[in-house]
Amino acid sequence: MSVILIYIYFIICFLILFYTIGYIVYQRYYQNHEARLIKQYVNLISDQHLMLQQVGCIDENHCLLLSKRLKNINQLIAFEKALNQLESKSDENTDYLMQIESTIIELTNYYQQLDQMKQAYLAYFIAKYGRGQWQSPSIYRILVSYLDNPTIYLRENVLLATYQQPEPKWIIKVLHYLTENELFHHSKLIQDGLLTYPFDCEELIDRLWEERQTFHPSIFLGLIGYITFKSDRYKETFYQMLQQEKVDLEVKASLMRYFKKHHLPKVEPLLIALASDEQDPIRIVAAYVLRDYPSKNVIATLKESLTDSNWHVRRNASQSLLAMNISEIDISDVLNGEDRYAKEMFRYHLQAERRTAHEPIG
């Protein structure tokens, strides 16, 4: 009985081995086949570029051909690689891509019935080449409809695709879907994805901010990060938020970081107060942000932070003090102080800064 079972395993494993070898052979064959396909598409697209220059539009039959062929995922991959090769001709490509919008609508429709990996690839394709050229709502309505128990890759690619059209409502729809279905999406992915939005970012920010309470915390965090990069209009809003007592720790830290990039004098006393907050992460961020608010009070606060029990607070306080170019008196004040840890940390950063200053640039 056991021998029979081993024989069965043996035969199945043998089949897997043959399948693997067959797959390698197929891959080799397919690489050559794909290279030919890409070349074919490069020629086809180049012809249409020429036609665009001559008559201002592309051949209708070309769109029909694409609609038929690109339903096959391998053809779509080859088409994408051909477009990638033609990236140097970006103006012609832009006009060309605008002309094939109807094909893209047809494809999004067709890919609804395919598996998630293929849908994710189409979303990736739209994200890469959309760039505002394909604005038809039906494309994004269908893309959002792909999100039925989606993989992280499908979610991310659909999000990236929606960032490439100007209407914030599609972005909000996807973010709502993620929140309602409790699907975690890293705040960094949200923030960096939003940064690719090529249209009026202030309008997008306002629309997203209106909806902030309906978003998952990680999306909200990503949004604050995005605002920090893109807008200085939220100083007052964030200042008010920062004063509230019941603010999530990570949100509070992100709001504080906003004021490192966007200076607001009246936030200084608040940051000074936060430098002695009972939560370590808040003190760490406060010691970091305060470097952009040089004043006597801030220097005194940071000197105090040098004696903090938290190592990171001491490190940030040292770096912040040096970043503010404090006087030699302040420097010797710290170096001659009684706190060994404060002196040790400050001395190291002082030496590192002087070393950097003397190092040749380049």
Partner 1 sequence: MNLLVERLMEVIALVFVSYMLLYTTFLFLAVLFGAIRLYEKDRMMRLSNEIKHDYYMPISVLMPAYNEEVTIVDSVRSLLQLDYKLYEIIIIDDGSTDRTTDQLLEAFPFRQTNSPIHRKLTCKKEEAIYEVTVNKVKLTLIRKENGGKGDALNMGINASQYPYFVTLDADSLLQSNSLEKIIQPVLADEQIIAVGGMVRVAQCVEMTNGTVSNYRMPWQPIVGMQVMEYDRSFLASRILLDQFSGNLIISGAFGLYKKDIVLAVGGYKSDTIGEDMELVMRLHTFMLNNKVPYKIRYLPEAICWSQAPESLRDIVKQRRRWHIGLFQSLIHYPEMLMRFRYKPVGFVSYLYYWLFELLGPFIEIFGIFTIVVASQFNLLNVPFMINLFLIYTGYGIVLSLTAFFQRVYIQGLKLNALDITKAILFVVLENAIYRYFLSFIRVTSFIGYKKKRNVWGSIKRTKHKESSHA
Binding positions for partner 1, rule: CB under 8 A: 2-3, 5-7, 9-10, 12-14, 16-17, 19-21, 23-24, 27, 73, 77, 117-118, 120-121, 124, 151-154, 156-157, 184, 186, 188-189, 192, 218, 311-312, 315, 341, 344-345, 347-348, 351-352, 355
When the beta carbons of 58 and 224 are compared against partner 1, the nearer one is 224
CA distances, 291 to each of 206, 268, 303, 328, 354 (Å): 29, 11, 12, 17, 18
CB atoms within 10 A of CB 32: 9
* Separation between Cα atoms, residue 271 and residue 268, nearest integer Å: 5
When the beta carbons of 46 and 310 are compared against partner 1, the nearer one is 310
Asked if 171 and 204 touch (Cβ cutoff 8 Å), the reply is yes
When the beta carbons of 27 and 145 are compared against partner 1, the nearer one is 27
Asked if 239 and 203 touch (Cβ cutoff 8 Å), the reply is no
Burial of 306 (0-12, 13-18, 19+ CB in 10 A): buried
Q: Note the maximum CA span of the chain.
A: 88
CA proximity to 226, closest of 208, 246, 242: 208
CB of 302 to partner 1, least distance (A): 17
* Separation between Cα atoms, residue 126 and residue 146, nearest integer Å: 14
Locus of tokens 């060994």:
340
CB of 236 to partner 1, least distance (A): 29
CB of 19 to partner 1, least distance (A): 7
CA distances, 98 to each of 101, 166, 267, 308, 345 (Å): 6, 15, 47, 59, 58
CB of 47 to partner 1, least distance (A): 27
* Separation between Cα atoms, residue 292 and residue 318, nearest integer Å: 13
CB atoms within 10 A of CB 27: 10
When the beta carbons of 81 and 260 are compared against partner 1, the nearer one is 81
CB of 238 to partner 1, least distance (A): 23
* Separation between Cα atoms, residue 132 and residue 163, nearest integer Å: 9
CB of 198 to partner 1, least distance (A): 16
CA proximity to 103, closest of 168, 58, 144: 58
When the beta carbons of 123 and 227 are compared against partner 1, the nearer one is 123
Asked if 257 and 285 touch (Cβ cutoff 8 Å), the reply is yes
> What does the block give as tokens for 89?
């001709």
When the beta carbons of 333 and 344 are compared against partner 1, the nearer one is 344
When the beta carbons of 265 and 360 are compared against partner 1, the nearer one is 360
CB of 213 to partner 1, least distance (A): 21
When the beta carbons of 58 and 127 are compared against partner 1, the nearer one is 127
Q: Which amino acid is at 18?
A: F
When the beta carbons of 156 and 268 are compared against partner 1, the nearer one is 156
CA proximity to 148, closest of 191, 180, 171: 180
CB of 341 to partner 1, least distance (A): 8
CB of 2 to partner 1, least distance (A): 5
